Amino acid sequence: MSIPVAAEKLFSLGALPVTNSLLTGWVVVAVLVMLSAVISRTVAEVPKGVQNVAEYVLEGMLSFMDQVTHERARSRRFLPIVGALFPFILLSNWFGLLPGVGTIGLWGMTGEGKELIPLFRPATSDLNMTFAMSIAVVIASHVIGVMTVGFFKYWNKFIQLGTFWKAVSKIGTQPVGEYAVGVFTAVIGLMVGLIELMSEAAKMVSLALRLFGNIFAGEVLIHVLSSLMAFLLPTPFMFLEIIVGVVQALVFSMLTLVYLVLATDAPHGDEHKHEEDVLGEAHGIAQGKPDLNEALPGI
């Protein structure tokens, strides 16, 4: 039995085809919802047990986000998005390591004849799932950016119509050479804006392919090794996949946070330098090298 790139269809709910990766996504969401319900029922003024653990994780996540946002208020604002993505991606990545995932399924007809269709498959090993998350993240960053900065000011980051109009409207008030240079510069700004819009589509593609490629490659590797020696050979690679699952969930969540921070910053003169600074800080945090002055402000 091989692992196809596309997720296998199990059944249909009306016009909705339910694949094994979609079923896994539903299971992961159900687990997170039940865990949240259990924690919310144990909330008390004096925390203990599960609430202690939950508050410790929440505070750690907020402190981690503070190193990118530099504001606790913005960290709290972005927590529902980033804090939901990270555990979902993490559990989805690890789901493929559970016994029976990929081996327990239903017999069905495929293009190559009768084959076992696995009942479960890691949701993040399906390109449809990773693309859906990437599209949602990028669209959410733009929506939040417009709500924070304002529609015209926000989109002037990309399509600088205001700058172009100011340059064109100065006709007759400047020498011909200076006027031509101003208009030419404004046209270049418009072209750069179009490139920036194309980069937004590239964000979706890079986010989706990075997560899908790493998780799907791990599934294929473990499947091949298990076919050679079922027990001993795949074990060290399974431990490696645990680390890969954490890293990929962290990278996806961190990039999402960076996009949200950049989208909610007001436009200023050195836009690209600011973007490089934020990305550089996020890269340092992902590499385990946070700025100690930001991480430990009281020392």
pLDDT band of residue 298 (cuts 50, 70, 90) is very low
Mean pLDDT, range 269-276, rounded to an integer? 48
pLDDT at 271 over 50: no
Per-residue pLDDT tens digits for 109-131: 666 667 778 888 899 999 999 99
Per-residue pLDDT tens digits for 138-165: 999 999 999 998 888 888 777 776 666 6
Closest residue by Cα to residue 118 from 108, 128, 127, 126: 108
Number of domains in the chain: 1
Averaged pLDDT score across all residues of the chain: 81
Asked if 122 and 101 count as a contact pair (C-beta separation under 8 A), the reply is yes
Residue 298 lies in a domain: no
Residue 295 lies in a domain: no
Domain extent, residue 245, equals: 9-290
Residue 246 lies in a domain: yes
Residues contacting 299, CB < 8 A, separation 6+: 292
Residue 207 lies in a domain: yes
Residues in the chain: 299
Residue 265 lies in a domain: yes
> Global pTM?
0.79
Residue 4 lies in a domain: no
Closest residue by Cα to residue 158 from 114, 203, 128: 203
Q: What are phi and psi of 104, to 5 degrees?
A: -100, 125
* Per-residue pLDDT, 11: 85
Paired tokens of 158: 């990309």
Residue 299 lies in a domain: no
Cα separation, 47 vs 13, in Å, equals 43
Residue 97 DSSP label: T
Residue 172 lies in a domain: yes
